[in-house]
Amino acid sequence: RIKRHHLLHHFHNEQGNFGITSLFCDRIFGSEYGSAEDVPFSQTVSNLGYADEERSHYPWVAQLSEQKP
């Protein structure tokens, strides 16, 4: 369950589900969301941290990032 929540953070909306080992802080600070339907898809989630150089070295990461879960 924690992994699913954190994958939503990386591939759906980066504004929540920050927890890696626990959902506790997300629940306390109100940043937890349970499913992709709970928050809108972020247009910037697919390119955060992946500049052109990184995208050319790791094309499969860019492809995964551009897919909606």
pLDDT per residue of the chain (69 residues) written in tens, 0 to 9: 788 888 888 778 888 898 888 999 999 999 999 888 999 988 777 666 666 776 777 777 666 656 555
Range(s) of the domain holding residue 36:
2-66
Model pTM score: 0.59
Looking at residue 30, its pLDDT comes to 94
The helices-and-strands tally (H runs, E runs) of the chain is 4, 0
Q: Domain count of the chain?
A: 1
- Whether the Cβ atoms of residue 50 and residue 63 lie closer than 8 Å to each other: no
